[in-house]
Amino acid sequence: MTPEIERLKQQFGKSVYGERAETGRLTSVSVAPEVLPAAAEFMARVLEMRFLFLAGFDERKSGGGFRLRYAFAHPREDRFLALAVQAGETEASFPSVVSLYPQANWQEREIQDLFGLKPSGHPDPRRLVLHEDWPAGQYPLRKDFPNGVKVPRRQGDYPFERVEGAGVFEIPVGPVHAGVIEPGHFRFSSAGESILKLEIRLFYTHKGIEKLGEGKSPREILCLAERVSGDNSVSHAAACAQALEALSGTTVPERALRLRVILLELERLYNHVADISGVVLDVAFSFGAAQLAAVKERLLRLNERLTGQRLLRSMIVPGGVHKDFAAGALDHLLRETEAIKKDFEQIVHIIWNSSSFLDRVEETGIIRREIAEALGGTGPAARASGVDRDLRRDHPYGVYSQLFFMVPVFAEGDVESRLKVRIQEIYESFKLIHEVAAGLAPGPCLAVPRPLAPMAHALGGVESPRGECFHWLSTDREGKISRWKIQSPSFANWPLIEYAVLENIVPDFPVINKSLNLSYSGNDR
């Protein structure tokens, strides 16, 4: 029994029961629904554990009804704890914790849409994932909802919140945008050019990946994981592989763990360079954007030289990596990253000495620390607002515990700070790649994975370029995947943009949006 569970039992008595050590670093305990809000508050205020996400489970076939699991992270130790709550089968409701954890807003609404469970006391019970043309009574993540069935649609309108007043008007943007961009609807309420309110409507690209994962093999699950968000393929594959390896008790060889670190940091490099380039382009600094685009292309070609894939897909498999780097590839990696780093330094120097560029990013799109923490912000967006958090350091995976690196944190919370976080992380990624590559010892790259344990749960997580990426996997009595919950960093960060744009002008929205680097596909899943 962990100290946290022992203190929960002391506080709530028989309302806390059924503790079990899950696979990996995860422990779970059940709490009665009537004490859930108090237990969640106890976790935060007394035990100082951080709420991560909420996952719903349909366990009616095994007699468990509907169950919710609230994942928490220990602030100082590499441990995770889940509170499990019975949501019932007939009443199909659960107490909302949004008043305590505002970040649970979207998560509870997602449970409502996909499982048909009502969060009692939720301040905004509107639909989130399912749009208004989706028929009532159809809940995609229930076990009795069939895969591959075309659902008939109906008419419906989303009830946007309106700002009333003299001189206030609405500017609808999207869901179809100019250029190559995924769909998302943005509705601005403005007085002149000043933004008074922004309401976003997403989930136009929902792929049903969590449903597709039911009953799939580990290799099939990893293939799907790489398609959650194309430019974060390695991060999602690594997080999913961690959960699969915990479920099977597979020990990954040291060389494979080190190669995974190289892949993860290469993914961070090309993402961060692309993000900076996007912001630079949106302030019309075409020269800087073109130079950064050339750096990104050089990184993508390096990826292809090393793995055969520009986006590094198909490298991570259960038990390690699909293949080792070819002869001479590590020497090429060290030479090329050193040359790319020098080019990047020169471009950053030029950009940061442009007063017109700095004028557009300084004090633009500010996200206060209290907002970032309350909404569960993660990654560079949170670290730019003073939230000192990074899974690589705080809950190390692979060989990150053996490596030394700096986690850049800034307090201003504006576009400039988000760019500075990424720039510093790029330099740290170069250092990590060189350290890991230089010390790479010969050895196997793949362990034969064992079968998945039946009736078990496991949690995998990595610090992706956008932030914390978690994959929760559960198995049935036959050891097959019965539930797959993906907590993407974009799902955590999209609500931040509604606060970042306040007191800014409409023309600054593209710059603010690019500085957060939010993925439609990764959010919608």
Q: Does residue 471 sit in helix, strand or coil?
A: strand
Starting at the edge strand found earlier in the chain, the sheet holding 194-201 runs 168-173, 185-191, 194-201
Six token digits for residue 93: 């409701």
| pLDDT confidence tier of residue 178, bands split at 50, 70 and 90 | confident
Six token digits for residue 313: 């897909």
pLDDT at 89: 67
- Give me the chain's average pLDDT, please: 92
Separation of alpha carbons 196 and 364, rounded Å: 15
Distant-in-sequence, close-in-space partners of 331: CB < 8 Å, separation ≥ 6: none
Residue ranges, CATH 3.30.460.80, the chain: 3-120
Residue ranges, CATH 1.10.645.10, the chain: 209-524
Separation of alpha carbons 373 and 394, rounded Å: 16
What ranges in 97-148 are assigned the alpha helix state H? 104-115
Over residues 324-339, mean pLDDT: 92
| pLDDT confidence tier of residue 269, bands split at 50, 70 and 90 | very high
What CATH number belongs to 209-524? Answer: 1.10.645.10
**Of 380, 465, 377, 365, which Cα lies nearest the Cα of 415?**
365
Whether residue 374 contacts residue 103, with contact meaning beta carbons closer than 8 Å, is answered with: yes
| pLDDT confidence tier of residue 227, bands split at 50, 70 and 90 | very high
Q: What is the DSSP letter of 156?
A: -
pTM of the model: 0.95
Whether residue 66 contacts residue 87, with contact meaning beta carbons closer than 8 Å, is answered with: yes
Report which of residues 516 and 87 the model is more confident about: 516
Does residue 165 have a pLDDT over 80? yes
Number of H helices and number of E strands within the chain? 18, 15
**C-alpha separations of 246 from 24, 213, 218, 455 in Å:** 5, 17, 12, 13
What is the torsional sign of CA 411, 416, 422, 424? Answer: negative
Does residue 367 have a pLDDT over 70? yes
pLDDT at 91: 62
Pairing of strands 65-73, 50-59: antiparallel
What is the torsional sign of CA 362, 364, 367, 368? Answer: positive
Q: Which amino acid is at 189?
A: S
Provide the percentage of residues in the chain whose pLDDT is more than 90: 77
Six token digits for residue 456: 């078990």
CB atoms within 10 A of CB 331: 10
Distance of CA 59 to the CA centre of its chain: 25
**Of 503, 367, 344, 328, which Cα lies nearest the Cα of 430?**
344
The owner of tokens 């043309």 is: 133
pLDDT at 62: 78
Separation of alpha carbons 316 and 234, rounded Å: 7
Q: In sequence order, what DSSP letters do the residues of 355-374 get, joined into one string? A: HHHHHHHTT-S---HHHHHH
Separation of alpha carbons 31 and 13, rounded Å: 10
pLDDT at 328: 87
Does residue 22 have a pLDDT over 80? no
**Of 464, 462, 470, which Cα lies nearest the Cα of 487?**
470
| pLDDT confidence tier of residue 90, bands split at 50, 70 and 90 | low
Separation of alpha carbons 381 and 409, rounded Å: 10
Over residues 428-447, mean pLDDT: 93
Six token digits for residue 296: 């990104």
Provide the percentage of residues in the chain whose pLDDT is more than 70: 99
Six token digits for residue 410: 């800034």
Q: Does residue 258 come out as left (phi exceeding 0), alpha (psi in the -120 to 50 range) or beta?
A: alpha
Residue 93, strand partner residues: 118
CB atoms within 10 A of CB 393: 16
Whether residue 182 contacts residue 204, with contact meaning beta carbons closer than 8 Å, is answered with: yes
Q: What is the DSSP letter of 330?
A: H
**Of 147, 139, 133, which Cα lies nearest the Cα of 209?**
147
Starting at the edge strand found earlier in the chain, the sheet holding 50-59 runs 16-21, 26-31, 80-88, 65-73, 50-59
| pLDDT confidence tier of residue 400, bands split at 50, 70 and 90 | very high
Separation of alpha carbons 522 and 471, rounded Å: 13
Topology adopted by domain 3-120:
Beta Polymerase; domain 2 (3.30.460)
Does residue 469 have a pLDDT over 70? yes
Whether residue 85 contacts residue 94, with contact meaning beta carbons closer than 8 Å, is answered with: yes
Q: Does residue 18 come out as left (phi exceeding 0), alpha (psi in the -120 to 50 range) or beta?
A: left
The H or E element spanning position 322 is none
Lowest mean pLDDT among 13-27, 208-222, 353-367, 389-403: 13-27
237-265 pLDDT, tens digit each = 999 999 999 999 999 999 999 999 999 99
Distant-in-sequence, close-in-space partners of 53: CB < 8 Å, separation ≥ 6: 70, 71, 107, 470, 485, 487, 492
